[in-house]
Amino acid sequence: MSGPFQTFDDTSAGGPRTARLDALRDEIKKRGAHGFVVPRADEHQCEYAPACAERLAWLTGFTGSAGTAVVLAEAAALFTDGRYTLQAPMQVDVSDFEIVNIAETRLADWIARRLPAGAKLGFDPWLHTAEETERLRVAVRKAGGDLVAFDDNPVDAIWTDRPAPPSAPVVTHPEEFAGESAQDKLARIREALACAGCDALVVSDPHNLAWAFNIRGGDVSHTPITLGYALLPSEGRPTLFLAGEKVAGEAARHLEALADRAEPSALAQALATLGQSGARVRVDRATGAEALRALVADAGGEADVGDDPVTLMKAVKNAVEIEGARAAHRRDGVAVARFLAWFDREAPAGALTEIDAVEALERRRAETNALADISFPTISGAGPNGAIVHYRVSRATNRRIAPGELFLIDSGGQYRDGTTDITRTLVVGDPTPQMRDRYTRVLRGHIAISRAVFPKGVTGAQIDAFARAPLWEAGLDYDHGTGHGVGSFLSVHEGPQRIAKLGHTALEPGMILSNEPGYYKTGAYGIRIENLIIVEEREIPGAERSMRGFETLTLAPYDARLIDKSLLTPEEIMWIDAYHARVFEEISPALDEGTRDWLTKATAPL
Amino acid sequence: MSGPFQTFDDTSAGGPRTARLDALRDEIKKRGAHGFVVPRADEHQCEYAPACAERLAWLTGFTGSAGTAVVLAEAAALFTDGRYTLQAPMQVDVSDFEIVNIAETRLADWIARRLPAGAKLGFDPWLHTAEETERLRVAVRKAGGDLVAFDDNPVDAIWTDRPAPPSAPVVTHPEEFAGESAQDKLARIREALACAGCDALVVSDPHNLAWAFNIRGGDVSHTPITLGYALLPSEGRPTLFLAGEKVAGEAARHLEALADRAEPSALAQALATLGQSGARVRVDRATGAEALRALVADAGGEADVGDDPVTLMKAVKNAVEIEGARAAHRRDGVAVARFLAWFDREAPAGALTEIDAVEALERRRAETNALADISFPTISGAGPNGAIVHYRVSRATNRRIAPGELFLIDSGGQYRDGTTDITRTLVVGDPTPQMRDRYTRVLRGHIAISRAVFPKGVTGAQIDAFARAPLWEAGLDYDHGTGHGVGSFLSVHEGPQRIAKLGHTALEPGMILSNEPGYYKTGAYGIRIENLIIVEEREIPGAERSMRGFETLTLAPYDARLIDKSLLTPEEIMWIDAYHARVFEEISPALDEGTRDWLTKATAPL
């Protein structure tokens, strides 16, 4: 793979789409139905879907990361959330699609009200989870209609130039990075299945597939996964359902030792056969398609919709993965330090733009000679753009980073030994007292998470407010979680671990999370400070409980010009000074002299 | 009503019970079944059940607050939790009943394993909620058996001297205390029902019945409720199902203006009639019996098992109730101050016992001439007894409060204007450094809750850890929630508001909660510090969110001898000094000179 990985073209491809909507309505009618649901989802509920799965964007023009269209004979609506209420009407022809904010009207309520009694609503059972389908079914029943699974997707029937499915080669993820053989992982999964009384597991999450078989791929952007399935019996040899063209050479030999192989099209028959034998088959609640559930259940088996046990196993990193994460963060830290030094040198002239910053940072990461991809499109927001939490810079929105403004940059790299994700907020010139107050409050929340110690069993939901308390004191808050899970050369957004109101998974040693409180002043500036942290066991003299705390993985200085020392406790100042000393110690040996001089100043004690 | 309200006899009435078990098995057989479930529950899932509902205690001897027996032809088990694993084997004949800790074996799993295939398991549908019944049904189905609702309870058939249902007179709860007319409350409930698309609500929770109709009663200990039901149509006049003998005079006139009245036995027919009309009837998830659900559903109606809207309305106190709570706490504070002064005078001689303390405190509360009842049996634990979270002193366990020991006393009063609940931990003589360290950590957590500010929408689950952090820092914790809701001259344990890991209700202004972190050293001592607090709106200059905080209702000093000032921040010291100053200001005018002198010292600045 090679960069550049980020492009800046407007993704809202223009052109009239009314003809597509008309053609879709004809296709729906042909199938004897009144309407059809088009989610932004592929068969695996992936965050980054392949181009062939971008049916929603093709049909509506909407490119946001969360949305669903419902097309009825006389009405059509695009449902999305608060993040996209500005973007959606700019991308979508509102004479074709009503734009609906799901916070105001839920999709189920809209269907219950708009679908005529007796009407059939079609859906593609490969693009909805079992639980989602159940909610759809309840809504359709309320309207007095019928929810009908279509055998083929009517969008595909009219999308004549639909891209082919991706076919990037599968590569092995050697034990030097994985830390555990696929054989041992598969044995652990079999044990978990037996414990849960399941005869088999369908692995529908490509991240879990990658982890379980120690393989990686390149089928989607930014996350090194290969799209496919595995069927894992609690006893005996698993079957991998992967397009044959993707598997050759070393990967083929590696997989041969582990599993039988079949084309993805053979999965349906395999599930039906299992179902006929009366088997109890675990289908992943989060990523398993309704079609998987139905194939098992309709054949007479028991489809057990629950958690894929791999999800939790994958979240808990082993010693090799942890050491890899540390190495990846030292390497990434060198690139980030070089970027920050460059920024401090260039920005005061007032000519840099958001895109310049993205390119400069990606270049420095590439110069590590270890960058496999960026882990997500960099969020690079100057001034008011920093206040847009999911901002993605394009040529059209690209903004100069002006003196007196804050600049927020949230980015990460995929390295074979680990995935990184870091946000720093920088000032060009002099910050206002309000900027320093807000930055310092966000930093205090960030430090509170870093310093937290808590007993075994405590969840991310229980500590989330530690990060918010300094903002709450001033009547402020932020509208996103404090932290998400992170994979090991896998997705930068990994579950089930989270630090958020709904993060109900216990934090176990080895889990990697982000720690990223923020503050956003609409129309003015955004602040976010993000490190990755890893849960570790913590020895405390006299402790009566088994305790945990966090080790910080990310190594990059905070912008001291934005810190109001008078708002900090002595413990907080000590923490920052110790962290900065560690950053210098771990990063400086790999730096050129100019950057090292810069880092010396940037990490000086407060 | 008049005291004394607490007695100290051993409640584990002895005597052989095997004959009862045999007789019950005969009754079960007569009904064509193989087994029967005996929960510790009445028809309303009340915390304090009337004597006639104590079937579990009568059958097994077990008097704990949580337990269920399952009696099969060849086996019988009593299921309870970790709090009662010591008590249960002492009260129960273990040759009759296997004692099962539900943390180790769930009731459902035991049934799934022990019930023979094809066997019928009977249950009393008035004593289980709809959701509980569903869980039972799944377990019985797993065993290949059938769950069968009995028309009458087989325990009642053999319990020849079963007490009659209570019949304490209903009294009105005038607007001077309630702050809102029953008419207005009923109108609000009707609105909520219409909003939820319900045609009627069965009020099955006697606390909700009391709140909605502005009545109180005396059917159970410590909570001034009357047992009964209401059927509240979304339009038209409600019907109250209350034993006629309980309603006379002023209460009868008050209720006549609000509702029709019928005997409780008429409820079944009324629900069936509603069901036949196809009505959608809300049945309370928390307290509504399976029988209520089945009566509606079997007649063809829609039983909508969900939250009784009254529960949330009742939790949010109005201005009159808040003013009442303040007055009740000033009055209670005087009694508590007199008790604490007496304790400090008497305890050093080393002759006081736990029961002496309970009696002395109840006497001082009674001397306010406003005490309607204690709000629960006082927990009075000296030394190691203080470490038993749900300790209840009896003549057999009564312990001398020895010098050098900690003494924990958790108590409350029912006054017509408000319900109180306070815990103080006291030292006799000199505490150890460890005692002071632990006490100060608990106090810091208690102060963190008191001082918390948070935006609208924040739940108790989100702030619970604020109270634990000072203990976590030392590797310590406590195994109970930080706070429960409290009623207004109603239950001292009221939902849905809680400060606990599972407290997922937003904290709204007007909600009363306890704030009671603790620390328990098994075999040595227990520490708990509890005030009642009330959620209030909080104005913060420059705030961008609607903010809330807490006003402290409870007025009593902390034991300064147990505070290690060196562990406190300046803000915490200021908070304690300000609180103590307020206690003195509000309580001292009503004190005798001796107590006032004591309070002057007890509330001196740290």
Is A196 within 8 Å of A231 (Cβ atoms)? no
Residue in this structure with the two tokens 């609180």, named with its chain if needed: B579
Between CA B65 and CA B49 the distance in angstroms is 10
Flag whether residue B537 sits within 8 Å of chain A, measured between CB atoms: no
Flag whether residue A540 sits within 8 Å of chain B, measured between CB atoms: yes
**DSSP letter for each residue of A82-118:** GGGTTHHHHHS-TTT-EEEETTTS-HHHHHHHHSPTT
pLDDT of A417 higher than 80 = yes
| A448: nearest CA partner in chain B | B469
**DSSP letter for each residue of A12-76:** ---S--HHHHHHHHHHHHHTT-SEEEEES--TT--SS--GGG-HHHHHH----SS-EEEEESS-E
**DSSP letter for each residue of B117-166:** TT-EEEE-TTSSBHHHHHHHHHHHHHTT-EEEE-SS-HHHHH-TTPPPPP
Show the tokens assigned to A299.
């054949």
In terms of Cβ atoms closer than 10 Å to its own Cβ (0-12, 13-18, 19+), residue B482 is buried
For residue B215, the distance in angstroms to the closest alpha carbon of chain A comes to 39
Flag whether residue A452 sits within 8 Å of chain B, measured between CB atoms: yes
Task: Give the pLDDT confidence of A80-98 residue by residue, as tens digits.
Answer: 988 887 788 889 999 999 9
Task: Give the pLDDT confidence of A525-568 residue by residue, as tens digits.
Answer: 999 999 999 999 999 999 999 999 999 999 999 999 999 999 99
CATH placement of domain B17-158: 3.40.350.10
Terminal-to-terminal C-alpha distance of chain A:
42
Q: Hey, do B17-158 and B171-307 end up sharing a CATH topology, with the first three levels equal?
A: yes
Superfamily of structural domain B319-596? Creatinase/methionine aminopeptidase superfamily (3.90.230.10)
Q: Report which of B15, B294, B316, B345 is spatially closest to residue B147, judged by C-alpha positions.
A: B294
pLDDT score at A2: 66
| A459: nearest CA partner in chain B | B501
Query: Can you point out the beta strands (E) in A313-403?
Result: 371-374, 379-382
pLDDT score at A142: 83
Flag whether residue B524 sits within 8 Å of chain A, measured between CB atoms: no
Chain B hits for A454, Cβ within 8 Å: 465, 468, 472
Please judge whether B543 and A474 are an interchain contact, meaning their C-beta atoms are less than 8 angstroms apart. Answer: yes
Please judge whether A475 and B540 are an interchain contact, meaning their C-beta atoms are less than 8 angstroms apart. Answer: yes
Please judge whether B462 and A464 are an interchain contact, meaning their C-beta atoms are less than 8 angstroms apart. Answer: yes
pLDDT score at A389: 85
**Arithmetic mean of pLDDT, A416-431:** 98
Between CA A375 and CA A221 the distance in angstroms is 9
Between CA A224 and CA A207 the distance in angstroms is 9
Chain A hits for B499, Cβ within 8 Å: none
Chain B hits for A458, Cβ within 8 Å: 465
Is A561 within 8 Å of A347 (Cβ atoms)? no
| Coil vs helix vs strand at A511 | strand
Between CA B479 and CA A456 the distance in angstroms is 13
Task: Give the pLDDT confidence of B189-222 residue by residue, as tens digits.
Answer: 999 999 888 999 999 999 999 999 999 999 999 9
Task: Give the pLDDT confidence of B526-558 residue by residue, as tens digits.
Answer: 999 999 999 999 999 999 999 999 999 999 999
Chain A hits for B475, Cβ within 8 Å: 453, 455, 540-545, 547
Task: Give the pLDDT confidence of A228-246 residue by residue, as tens digits.
Answer: 999 999 999 999 999 999 9
Between CA B109 and CA B69 the distance in angstroms is 14
pLDDT score at B3: 74
At what angle are helices B593-602 and B570-587 packed, to 10 degrees?
Answer: 170
Task: Give the pLDDT confidence of A107-137 residue by residue, as tens digits.
Answer: 988 998 999 999 999 999 999 999 999 999 9
**Arithmetic mean of pLDDT, A330-354:** 97
Between CA B191 and CA B280 the distance in angstroms is 15
3-state secondary structure A301-334: CEEEEECCHHHHHHHECCHHHHHHHHHHHHHHHH
Q: How many CB pairs under 8 A join A and B?
A: 78
DSSP state of B604: S
pLDDT score at B90: 87
| Coil vs helix vs strand at A564 | coil
Flag whether residue B477 sits within 8 Å of chain A, measured between CB atoms: yes
Show the tokens assigned to A122.
């079609």
Show the tokens assigned to A423.
């946000």
Residue B52: CB atoms within 10 A of its CB come to 15
pLDDT score at B465: 98
Task: Give the pLDDT confidence of A460-479 residue by residue, as tens digits.
Answer: 999 999 999 999 999 999 99
User: What are the structural domain ranges in chain A?
Assistant: 17-158, 171-307, 319-596
Q: For residue A515, give Cα distances in angstroms to A47, A422, A468, B242, B352.
A: 20, 9, 12, 57, 53
**Arithmetic mean of pLDDT, A13-40:** 90
For residue B542, the distance in angstroms to the closest alpha carbon of chain A comes to 7
pLDDT score at A252: 97
Between CA B231 and CA A54 the distance in angstroms is 53
Please judge whether A462 and B464 are an interchain contact, meaning their C-beta atoms are less than 8 angstroms apart. Answer: yes
Question: Within its chain, how far is the Cα of A271 from the centroid?
Answer: 29
Best residue in B463, B544, B546, B572 to probe A by mutation, most A CBs within 10 Å? B544
Task: Give the pLDDT confidence of B432-483 residue by residue, as tens digits.
Answer: 999 999 999 999 999 999 999 999 999 999 999 999 999 999 999 999 999 9
Flag whether residue A465 sits within 8 Å of chain B, measured between CB atoms: yes
Q: Report which of B86, B87, B88 is spatially closest to residue B78, judged by C-alpha positions.
A: B88
Supply the ipTM of this predicted assembly. Answer: 0.93
Please judge whether A462 and B466 are an interchain contact, meaning their C-beta atoms are less than 8 angstroms apart. Answer: no
For residue A442, the distance in angstroms to the closest alpha carbon of chain B comes to 15
For residue A474, the distance in angstroms to the closest alpha carbon of chain B comes to 6
At what angle are helices B290-298 and B267-276 packed, to 10 degrees?
Answer: 40
Is A517 within 8 Å of A468 (Cβ atoms)? yes
For residue B545, the distance in angstroms to the closest alpha carbon of chain A comes to 6
For the question of whether the overall pTM of this predicted structure is more than 0.90, the answer is yes
pLDDT score at B14: 55
Between CA A425 and CA A265 the distance in angstroms is 48
pLDDT, averaged across chain A: 95
What CATH architecture is B171-307?
3-Layer(aba) Sandwich (3.40)
Cα radius of gyration rounded to whole Å, chain B: 25
Between CA B69 and CA B91 the distance in angstroms is 14
Flag whether residue B540 sits within 8 Å of chain A, measured between CB atoms: yes
Show the tokens assigned to B330.
């000033």
pLDDT of B315 higher than 60 = yes
Chain B hits for A468, Cβ within 8 Å: 454
Q: Please report, rounded to a whole number, the percentage of residues in chain A having pLDDT higher than 70.
A: 99
